[in-house]
Amino acid sequence: MRITCPLCGTRDRREFYYYGAEDYLHRPAPDAAPETWDDYLHLRDNPAGETRDLWYHELGCASWLVVTRNTVTHEISAVELVAEVSA
């Protein structure tokens, strides 16, 4: 498996650390309802198809990445910098 870091180029999977669903980028407001926080912290979709995850280029440039991949075909269709996605 290879991931194309937007900065470093195509790199081996061993250079990256998996963090979890992209949901972590959508933190609720501090005064949001408890259900919203519960959803944010604990509830995740488990799609057969396209999913977006956070990865960390640990052994490379130390950038956080959003990787869009398909859980059925294993195709990686996009890799973006978190810094640009959430800017």
Partner 1 sequence: MASLIARSPLAGQAPLVLGRLRLAEGRPGPITSLARLKDRPLDALLEAAGLSFPAPNSMVSTETHRLVWTGRDQAFLFGPPLEGLGAACAATDQSDGWASLLLEGPGAEEALMRLVPLDLRLTAFPQGRTARAPLNHMQAILMRTGPEAFTVLVFRSMAQSAWHEIGTAMRSLAARAAIG
Q: What is the residue type of 24?
A: Y
In 25-85, where does DSSP find H-type helix?
34-42, 82-85
Nearer to partner 1, 8 or 33 (CB): 8
CA 47 to chain CA mean position, Å: 14
Nearer to partner 1, 14 or 74 (CB): 14
| Number of neighbours of residue 5 by Cβ within 10 angstroms | 20
Select from 43, 59, 72, 78 the one that contacts partner 1 (CB under 8 A): 59
Asked if 25 interacts with partner 1 (CB under 8 A), we say no
Asked if 12 interacts with partner 1 (CB under 8 A), we say yes
